[in-house]
Amino acid sequence: MLNKPLKSLLLATSSAALLTACGDSKPLQSWTQEAGSFIDEGSFGNPTMNNTQIHSGEKSYVIDLARRFASEIPSTVNFEFNSAVLDAQSRTVLRQQADWIRQFPEVRFRVYGHTDLVGSNAYNKRLGLRRAQAVVAFLATQGISRSRLEAMVSHGETQPLIVTEGRERRNRRTVTEVSGFVQGHPTVLNGKYAAIIFRDYVGSAIQAPTGSQTALSDVSSGG
């Protein structure tokens, strides 16, 4: 049986909760919905997934592998103004990326597209996506499965490296990043993340650039 002071405290707490519920529908909803639903901002599954990846070790290994990729291989290629065409220099960098990616068949990658600030935001978002898709298409010609590559919706002009309203080549770029592991791969299923991270790979010679392409044309233009 509860003693009198404890019972009084419980009654006071319950009364406060009911009063709060009158002024805010979220606590009231918490009486009839699953625990934690009222703090869900639309991505309740993401914290759960993140927590699982941390406890399994997957998250830390993805971060380690991403750092290794960025430190050993150029992750960025640049574009001419209003173009999603890969020039000779870009293709050389992408061959290096492909050589590195082939050594890790268990790993997935994302490509993000960017533009400079010339042109409308809507047009530049489409242009950035075309650039990301061009990189994915080229990597696929180098023997990388498209199932391991994703051309992300572009950041457009929203993340410039150099803040300027004018044309800036360094802002017209794509960035390739490690995004995770191929979940169906046997090594990943066995949780052998460390074996993936520390695997040695064979460096490939850089091939001489061949051919040239002309820039894309469009009714509108962007950077």
Higher pLDDT, 23 or 220: 220
By residue count, the chain amounts to 223
So what's the pLDDT on residue 89? 96
Q: What would the pLDDT profile of 82-123 be if each residue is shown by its tens digit?
A: 999 999 999 999 999 999 999 888 889 999 999 999 999 999
73 forms beta bridges with none
**pTM reported for the whole predicted model:** 0.62
**CATH of segment(s) 54-197:** 3.30.1330.60
Per-domain boundaries in the chain? 54-197
Q: What is the DSSP letter of 168?
A: -
So what's the pLDDT on residue 51? 45
- Per the structure block, which two tokens stand in for 8? 């009084």
Average predicted confidence (pLDDT) for the chain:
73
